[in-house]
Structure 1
Amino acid sequence: MKKLAVNPLRKTLIAVLTVLLLTFVSLTSALASSSGSDVFTGNPIADIVEKTSPAVVNIDTKTMVRQPLSPFANDPFLREFLGDQLEHFTRLVPMKGKGSGFIVSKDGYILTNNHVVAGADEITVSMSDGKTYPAKIIGTDPSYDLAVIKIEGENLPVLPLGDSDKVRVGEWVIAIGNPFGFESTVTVGVVSAKNRSIRARDFSFDGFLQTDAAINPGNSGGPLLNLKGEVIGINTAIIPYAQGIGFAVPVNMAKQVLDDLVKYGRVKRGYLGVYVQPLTKEFADVYGIKSENGAVVADVVPGSPAEKAGLMRGDVIVEVDGKKVEDDLDLTMKIRSHLAGDKVNLKILRRGGIERKVRVVLGSIPGSEGGRKSLSEHLKKIGIKVEPVSDAVRKQKDLPPSITGVMISEVAPGSVADGVGLRSGDIIVEVNGNKVEDIDSFVRSLPKAEGPVVLAVWRDGRVFYVSFRL
């Protein structure tokens, strides 16, 4: 009997079509099973998008920045010769930004990324129906790169918040946002991984969801949805040189801070007061630690909850509330998940393998409580925002060990600070003769600085003084 020859190209096409058909069937089945009682049409993704997109918003920001009037304004020789006078040869120009967000309450509270709205002088929110609203910042949380803004409205569409702890790797997800200004763009992918860590020069974050759903500039702050139309993440970051790699803040982290941002404008996050590093085999051998996991306490902040509870340098924290601590990053995440005033039970191993159980009442992050209102008022009058001097900043600026203080992260155009020549990146080392060690001492110094104020400022290897009156 004569055998029929099969065309290789035809055989390949049949195989490809079979794979595509099976993929479509499995996706449709997944959608149907995850939707509960929802009845889908023949296009399930479109049904979810149609249902959720009215609550997804586009965010446009305008920030006034100073621009040199001369192309030679950044010339090192001119800066050395003219010094702070060069700052007067500038003009104010608007810098525009775009991002995304989604409505979480019917009266207009919107969740987005901190970096979308940070420093903005004007914020405009656009709805999918074309309506626009002015918005104001209610609160921000740079640690999680989250922010809450508000528009005035009633009976607005809202996105339900899901449970990111239940998300599985390989689960289908939908991203909606405003990439490159293209409004209401929808992309589909899967959860590629969980608990990803990102490290950059001035930013670090642990616990990201990773997805291959296309996320581009402008998607920041938009929702990552599951197949029930619930938010499981807030799209926040991409790797510029890679394709198919995007990251989202798990929504359960956002839930922890959302109420605090709305009520207080800040997060009352718990504070332990230790500097930690990974546990190495060499450290374990020398200190007699019989554990392969844990976080080594490299130093204890004086007066912190950790010191009050008896933690010491060299202790290895191996459990928090009965849950194993994998490493220093895991400990950070576990403490971050608590609020000030929470009680946590730590299991530690001390030199020689001595096991101790310690109960700690977490405090507030230094500078976040007493004096915060007066600090905010003073900073607003001066026209600056400040942040702690991180190890990364010290290394980048090659700061001498003797230089301590707070770093100016932003100078408001036309403000008092702008007028006396302060710049972003300056380090404030003294306030009216009082040495500034950190945010806490800065808070204590400023309320005394009524009337005339003299700041000692470090910049480019030298210290100089600026003075003004509040």
Structure 2
Amino acid sequence: MNAKRFFFTFAIAVVTAVSVVYVYSRISNNEPQIITVKEQVPAIGQFASAQVQGNLPDLTYAAESSVHAVVHVKTRSSGKDYYSNNPFYEFFFGPGSGYRQQPQPVMGAGSGVILTKDGYIITNNHVVDNADEIEVTLNDRRTFSATLVGADPTSDIALLKIDAEELPFVPYGDSDNLKIGEWVLAVGNPFNLTSTVTAGIVSAKARSINIIANRNQTLGVESFIQTDAAVNPGNSGGALVNQRGELVGINTAIASRTGSFTGYSFAVPVTIAKKVVADLMEFGEVQRGLLGVSIVEVSNVTKDQADELGISIDKIEGVLVGSVAPNGGAEEAGIKAGDIILSVNGEDVNSVPELQERVSMHRPGEKVNLIVLRNGKQKPFEVTLRNIRGTTGIISSNKFDETLGATLEAVSTSDLRRLGVRYGIQVVEAGNGSLRQSGVKEGYIITKVNNMPIKTVGDFTAAVSEAQDGLFLTGIYPNGRVVYYAVNLAD
């Protein structure tokens, strides 16, 4: 009986084991299908992730190659004298009496970008405007006194020079090739924090916000690159670089109601900055070629105005010529009020900033080719640009040809400090013109012309252009002797 029970139990165990093996084998045979299905989902996720990673730029090279060439610019200027009404004074000396309050120094800070190995540095004009002393601190913490070579308020660009060699610098890029959505880096010194790098994309190009005109009470050349890279006070004059570490703009302004970054920043494109720097290096002031027209956005033209001018505003393109200056390049070429400028040298212009940027790249005497829409037909014109005086010649502030015949240069901060003066420009060569005839000798540092402070060669040029018959110079020689000269400009 026990034997039968044993064999019966054994048979059940064998059948059970066979069943388990069969079921297991069936499950095992289906497992690759299950795995295959489950593997397909992660594969899709991995592919999407890899695609995103491929589109994210590696900005480390751009940061490393540019951060050492961006400097910290510190300025010092004297405050203004002012009178203070004091009840104590008024009690003893009568109403309206007061005393002169001593001026307090005003400190400022910004950024700059090294352009050459021998120490030329670009920054914003508003960073160094009215500065008596300019100090530059490199990324390696070396500090130099800087000389203001020249400045252009209309583009908010200034050029500095420090006495150094073998400096790291940022090469020029091409801001024309920037695309909307392209990644860029803003490198500067916000809030006195050195070597700060922020990233963003190009949000718009050829943007005008009227900040230069409002700041300088003059016509500004604005065709900003708009980005969402964080820019704050102290970033002004710093670098906007592309992914290759090339300079494509000079960070200049932010759109903010708080004074700090709130979403958008604006940079002067390198197409404008590069030409300004070249002019300042060569001539001491900007050589701005002018078309000789007033221009208006086509989008701002009303239907009545359009009908009066005989133009269509159904398609917004080009820039409308509002008026033509007499004896200017545009009038000479045959351009008329009511014409619509469609392109400059083959480049389309559909806004005032775009047209300003294209023309600002050229000097007086150079020719530009325009395509103009008139009475529904396109016509080509060749315009010879004029300077602000209405001629095609170069306005040189270094060489004052027949009238003054002198070569003038900026004075180093150390020489100014040694002589106890805050600003001035130096006569390197007196030439054979009016300055030498008036007794001016080489080495003379001009501090004032007709009682106007002279801080740059551009200031001197402006004073000469405003003078009627002559100049009264105030200045000092390197030996400390203060001398005054009267220079006759009359024919």
Q: SS in structure 2 opposite 1:66?
A: coil
1:246 counterpart = 2:265: yes
Distance 1:329 1:111, change over 3 A: closer
Over the aligned positions, Cα root-mean-square deviation in angstroms equals 4.1
In structure 2, which of residues 339, 346, 358 is the aligned counterpart of residue 315 of structure 1?
A: 339
Instruction: Give the aligned partner of residue 332 of structure 1.
Output: 356
Aligned match of 2:189: 178
> What does residue 202 of structure 1 align with?
214
- In structure 2, stretches of 5+ residues that fail to align are 1-44, 88-94, 412-420, 425-445, 454-460, 474-484
**Does 2:160 match 1:149?**
yes
Which amino acid in 2 is paired with 1:267? Answer: V
1:52-80 per-residue CA deviation (whole Å, 9 max, x = no partner) reads 3221110000111214241689xxxxxxx
What SS does the corresponding residue of 1:190 show, helix, strand or coil? Answer: strand
Q: CA deviation at 1:341?
A: 1.4
Q: Which residue of 2 aligns with 1:429?
A: none
Q: CA deviation at 1:339?
A: 1.8
Match of 1:282 among 304, 313, 329: 304
Matches within 5 A, 1:33-48: 45=60, 48=62
C-alpha change, 1:136 and 1:257, in structure 2 (3 Å) is: same
Contact 1:69–1:91, Cα closer than 8 Å, also in 2? no
Mapping of residues 15-414 of structure 1, within 5 Å: 25-26=53-54, 30-31=57-58, 45=60, 48-70=62-84, 89-200=100-211, 202=214, 204-241=220-257, 243-279=262-298, 280=301, 281-290=303-312, 292=315, 293-350=317-374, 352-353=375-376, 356-366=379-389
Long gaps (5+) in structure 1: 1-16, 32-43, 74-80, 385-411, 420-438, 453-467
Q: Number of paired residues? A: 366
Decide whether the 8 Å contact of 1:287 with 1:353 is kept in 2.
Answer: no
Closer, same or farther: CA 216–371 of 1 in aligned 2, 3 Å: closer
Structure 2 residue matching 1:263: 3-state secondary structure: helix
* Structure 2 CA distance for aligned equivalents of residues 240 and 23 of structure 1: 35
Q: Partners in 2 of 1:118 and 1:179 — Cα distance?
A: 19
Q: CA deviation at 1:228?
A: 2.0
- What SS does structure 2 have at the residue aligned with 1:303? coil
For the residue of structure 2 that corresponds to 1:186, the secondary structure is strand
Output the amino acid matched with 2:267.
A
Q: Is the 8 A contact 1:341 1:362 kept in 2?
A: yes
Residues 184 and 202 of structure 2 are in contact (CA less than 8 Å); yes or no, is this contact kept in structure 1? yes
One-letter amino acid of the structure 2 residue matched with residue 254 of structure 1: A
The partner residue of 2:469 within 423, 443, 448 is 448
Give the deviation of 1:237 after TM superposition: 0.7
Contact 1:371 1:444 in 2 (8 A): no
- Residues 24 and 116 of structure 1, relative CA distance in 2, 3 Å threshold: farther
Aligned residue number for residue 462 of structure 1: none
Distance 2:192 2:447 in 1: 26
Cα deviation, residue 417, structure 1: 4.2
Normalising to structure 2: TM-score of the pair? 0.64
Q: Match of 2:168, as an amino acid?
A: P
SS at match of 1:271: coil
The code of the aligned residue for 2:68 comes to P
Match in the other structure for 1:396: none
**Whole-Å Cα distance in 1 between the matches of residues 381 and 46 of structure 2?**
59
CA contact (8 A) 1:256 1:337 kept: yes
Checking the alignment, whether the CA contact within 8 Å between 1:198 and 1:205 is kept in structure 2 is: no
SS at match of 2:362: coil
Distance 1:354 1:165 in 2: 28
Q: Which amino acid aligns with 2:176?
A: D
Q: Which residue of 2 aligns with 1:8?
A: none
Kindly provide the amino acid, as one letter, of the partner of residue 262 in structure 1.
Answer: M
Q: d(CA) in 2 for partners of 1:127 and 1:23?
A: 39
The one-letter code sitting in structure 1 at the alignment partner of 2:382 is R
Q: Could you tell me how far apart the structure 2 residues matched to 1:70 and 1:115 are?
A: 29
Structure with larger Rg: 2
Residue range with higher mean Cα deviation, 443-452 or 219-228: 443-452
Alignment partners' CA distance in 2, 1:23 and 1:215: 30
Counterpart secondary structure, 1:152: coil
Matched-pair contact (CA < 8 Å) for 1:318–1:348: yes
For residue 208 of structure 2, give the secondary structure of its aligned residue in structure 1: strand
Identity over the aligned pairs, expressed in percent? 39
- 1:145-186 deviation per Cα after TM superposition (whole angstroms, max 9, x unaligned): 111100001111111222222222222222221111111122
Supply the distance in 1 between the matched residues of 2:66 and 2:249 (Cα, whole angstroms). 14
1:303 deviation in Å?
2.5
Q: Deviations over 1:318-366 (max 9, x none)?
A: 333344432444332322222211112233345x557643321101123
- How far apart are 1:270 and its partner, in Å? 0.9
Distance change (3 Å), C-alpha of 1:169 and 1:318: closer
Task: Give the distance between the partners of 1:26 and 1:326, measured in 2 at CA.
Answer: 35
Kindly tell me: are residues 286 and 340 of structure 1, through their superposed partners in 2, closer, same or farther at Cα, counting changes over 3 Å? same
Secondary structure of 2:79 counterpart: strand
8 Å CA contact 1:178–1:184 kept in 2: the answer is yes
Q: Distance in 2 between matches of 1:371 and 1:170?
A: 41
Deviation at 1:136, TM superposition (A): 0.5
Displacement of 1:246 after TM fit? 0.9
Deviation at 1:202, TM superposition (A): 1.4
Over 3 Å counting, the alpha-carbon distance change for 1:329 and 1:55 in structure 2 is: closer
Q: Is the 8 A contact 1:225 1:232 kept in 2?
A: yes
Q: Does the C-alpha gap of structure 1 residues 450 and 229 become closer, same or farther in structure 2, counting only changes over 3 Å?
A: closer
Indicate how the Cα distance of structure 1 residues 52 and 451 shifts in structure 2: closer, same or farther if over 3 A, else same: closer
By how many angstroms is 1:299 displaced?
2.4
